[in-house]
Structure 1
Amino acid sequence: MPLIKHPLAAFPLVYLGWAYLFWIPVLLSDSSVWALPNLIWFLIGGASPVVAGLGLAAANGGKKQMGDLWRRLTDWRRIPGRWWLIILFFWLAYDLAMAGLAVLLGVTGEPLDTNWQLFVNPGPLLFLLVLSFVFPAVEEVGLRGFYLEALQQRFSPVVAGLVNGAVWALWHAPFVFFPGYYANTTFHPELYWWMPMIICHTLLIVLVYNRTGRSILAVLIFHAMMNFNGEWLRISPEMYPFMLFGNLALAALLIMFWKSGRQSPPNTC
């Protein structure tokens, strides 16, 4: 049986293999990732979630599976009203709570440097919104819409989320080494806290995905709001290692909730 018919193994191989193949020239370069030709290599490699997700969906499920992906990406009615509130405001509430806790514990006196001017300058606001949504749009269709879906057909939400998150973290690891990638942002990740944080985020994404009728749109917006709030609030660099503890606590609570068996069945409309 061809490997392509085994999506649990085929997806990470295509997803990571395609990306790393085109990103090697960028990693070996002394020029910024945003300079040509590095930008071209970066964008081609960055398309790997779409290449892997849509390619394997077409190969395994044909038009039926492609149509299912499209419906779950575009049908906003799958998302219950209360989950819209969670999707839109969870990260804002979480970031503010962690900032307050950091001040109380003496981690930092200035956890945030909020950019209020963003809301009176439509140009920068639009640019940030586009950036916040473009990358999740590329990632979520394949990574969650196809791969997480396949994982959950065989494994529990916990195992599926951990595997999905680990693969997602491996895809992001080269970003730390891309020359100049984070030059104009407030986010400067280090692998020791960023990789486990990505896995924790994935468990939250699994919860959103399962409670919104397997909605790709829901997890796309949830992911985008995480990006947007981080840049709007301008979370200070010393906050991120501290925020890992908050992520680990949320992940542990979520795992205990799943393991308890008290949760309601996922909405699979």
Structure 2
Amino acid sequence: MAVSSPFPDDPVGPGGLAAFFAVTFAITWAIIGSYVLWPEAMTARFGEISGAHPFFFLATWAPAIAAFAVVLLWGGVAGLRGFLSRLLLWRCPAPWWAFILAGIPLVFMAGSLIKGGPLLAPLPPEGAGPVVMLMLMMLVLGPIEEFGWRGVAQPILQRHVAPIWAGAIIGTAWGLWHMPAFYLAGVVFAEWSFLPFFLGNIVLAILVTPIFNAARGSLALPMLFHWQLINPFWPDAQPWDTWILIAVAVVVVWWTRDLMFRREGAVTEVIPGHGGAQP
């Protein structure tokens, strides 16, 4: 049975947002935190953690797991079907498609060149085949998070604050959610500096916000955006990619300032057909 929302026409209310964040952090921090605090015991019992470990997948999927639980609890099975229909929303102005498909790769390439690196990530001795397989595997890792961040959190926050602040709040939560991984050996985060990554999360969450709203709450475009961020063909550009993205974000926010700083027109539906965008 679905839980009623205090907001008329909005099945998922602020209680759903609180539940989403609580479940998301509980799953990920419990799994990764256990490996950080008790590495020997966890490794002996469950095996060494890595990017291919089932627990790593579970920790990464926590936002999606939380999102599905919230939508089912507040909207029922019919609500979940409506929620998933947002995967079919692909229409978006051409400049945003260009930014996702070409702009993001150019940011990584430019950042890599600044630090003296290659245009593309070096291929392994086996050639491009393993990288292609890794790229496809990445499709079911990071992008799945968007069921939560843009699927549940963004629409609910945009009922109360302007899109830019909704993006900043999600970016802050997104960055803090990753924090335990920076203390975990055996994963890529252990080799990065947290502060540029944290700032980058805020910037990226702000950057994807106008794309999300322009596509009327699409889940597909934020997933494609996220996939590009972890595409193994793009070179490691840390921390320069963050500084470039900050500059890009300033331009994007200025360009879309009429929409980013007011709630009118922002997508506020978690489940399509309930409430709609504000007039």
TM-score (norm 1): 0.79
CA displacement 1:137-180 (0-9 Å, x = unmatched): 32011121111121112221111001111111111111211221
User: Aligned AA for 1:253?
Assistant: V
- 1:92 equivalent in structure 2: 105
1:36 aligns with 2:37: no
1:190 aligns with 2:193: yes
Q: Distance in 1 between matches of 2:70 and 2:249?
A: 30
2:151 to 137, 145, 154: 145
- Are the structure 2 counterparts of residues 160 and 64 from structure 1 closer, same or farther at C-alpha, using a change threshold of 3 Å? farther
Q: Distance in 1 between matches of 2:55 and 2:33?
A: 9
Q: Distance in 2 between matches of 1:77 and 1:48?
A: 25
User: Aligned AA for 1:252?
Assistant: V
1:155 aligns with 2:161: yes
CA displacement 1:204-249 (0-9 Å, x = unmatched): 1112211122111111011101211xx32323xxx42333322222
- 1:105 equivalent in structure 2: none
Contact 1:30–1:179 (8 Å) recurs in 2: no
Matches within 5 A, 1:147-226: 147-182=153-188, 188-226=191-229
Contact 2:112–2:119 (8 Å) recurs in 1: no
User: Aligned AA for 1:89?
Assistant: A
Task: Tell me how many residue pairs correspond in the alignment.
Answer: 252
1:60 aligns with 2:60: no
Q: Distance in 1 between matches of 2:238 and 2:4?
A: 43
CA displacement 1:8-50 (0-9 Å, x = unmatched): 32221111112112222211244698x7264343333333112
Contact 2:31–2:59 (8 Å) recurs in 1: yes
User: Aligned AA for 1:95?
Assistant: F
CA displacement 1:106-126 (0-9 Å, x = unmatched): xx3x232624657x9453133
Q: Distance in 2 between matches of 1:257 and 1:60?
A: 36
Q: Unaligned stretches of 5+ in structure 1?
A: 103-107
Cα RMSD after superposing both structures: 3.4
- 1:7 equivalent in structure 2: 16
1:124 aligns with 2:130: yes
1:248 aligns with 2:246: yes
- 2:60 equivalent in structure 1: 46
Question: Per-residue deviation at 1:90?
Answer: 1.9
- 2:235 equivalent in structure 1: 234
Q: Distance in 2 between matches of 1:95 and 1:258?
A: 23
Q: Unaligned stretches of 5+ in structure 2?
A: 6-11, 268-275
Contact 2:253–2:260 (8 Å) recurs in 1: no
Q: Distance in 1 between matches of 2:132 and 2:147?
A: 23
- Name the structure with the higher helix share: 1
Q: Distance in 1 between matches of 2:83 and 2:55?
A: 27
Q: Distance in 2 between matches of 1:152 and 1:63?
A: 24
After TM superposition, the structure 1 stretch with the greater mean CA deviation from structure 2, 203-212 or 242-251, is 242-251
Percent of pairs with identical residues: 20
Q: Distance in 1 between matches of 2:64 and 2:213?
A: 21
Q: Distance in 1 between matches of 2:211 and 2:188?
A: 28
